[in-house]
Amino acid sequence: MTGTGREDARIDRRFALMFLVMLTIAAGNTALQSVLPALGRSLGVADSAVAGAFSVSALLWVIAAPFWANRSDRHGRRAMILLGIGGFSVSLTLCGLFLMAGINHWIGGTAAFGCFIAGRLIYGAFGAAAPPALQALVAGETTRAERTRALTLLASAFGLGTIL
């Protein structure tokens, strides 16, 4: 994404923010996937239930992403990016609180895990708003020659977040 002078700096700053959004979503989701099997065992939850919680969230993501992509065309890319990062943040916060409540025996393990699943559903439903809006924003603000490079860099943010 190139421009001239001040425009170039503005676009680079905006792209850096988009890169960070994708990196954060991937890193947060992967970090949770990494520790959840051990947390599930601490709560007395079967590994298959842990895998099921992520599968249901992923299924909801697949269903919700096209819906949010369509809405970003009508209601604006930035609004959907904010909705997506907000959904991710609320989901991760709730998941952490519910898991902490279960591990500390403030609530039962099954109840904690059920609430955790509800938190994951928030991620699947609302977290799916950011990536399609980010990709559409990048596609709309780049020339045809720049588009492949910019979208590849954006996708690499998700990969880097997964590694981190």
The answer to whether 18 and 138 are in contact (CB under 8 A) is: yes
Residue 1: inside a domain: no
Q: Give me the pLDDT at residue 1, please.
A: 47
Residue 37: inside a domain: yes
- Average of per-residue pLDDT across 84-101: 94
- Average of per-residue pLDDT across 19-24: 84
Q: Give me the pLDDT at residue 29, please.
A: 81
What 3-state DSSP class applies to 15? Answer: helix
HSE at residue 17, side-chain half, CA atoms within 13 A, is: 12
CA–CA separation, 146 vs 133, rounded Å? 18
What 3-state DSSP class applies to 4? Answer: coil
Residue 138: inside a domain: yes
Residue 68: inside a domain: yes
**Model confidence pLDDT, tens digit, residues 106-159:** 999 999 999 999 999 999 999 999 888 888 888 888 888 888 888 888 788 878
Q: How confident is the model at residue 33 (pLDDT cuts 50, 70, 90)?
A: confident
- Average of per-residue pLDDT across 6-20: 72
Whole-model pTM: value is 0.81
Lowest-pLDDT range of 5-14, 55-64, 68-77: 5-14
Domain count, the chain: 1
What tokens were used for 58?
A: 């992923």
**Residue 31 lies in domain:** 6-163
Residue 81: inside a domain: yes
Q: Is the pLDDT of residue 164 over 70?
A: yes
CATH of the domain at 138: 1.20.1250.20
Residue 92: exposure state from Cβ atoms within 10 A (0-12, 13-18, ≥19): buried
Nearest to 53 by CA among 32, 68, 71, 69: 32
Q: Is the pLDDT of residue 9 over 60?
A: no
Q: Spell out the residues 6+ positions from residue 26 whose beta carbon is closer than 8 angstroms to its own.
A: 157, 158, 159, 160, 161, 162
HSE at residue 46, side-chain half, CA atoms within 13 A, is: 3
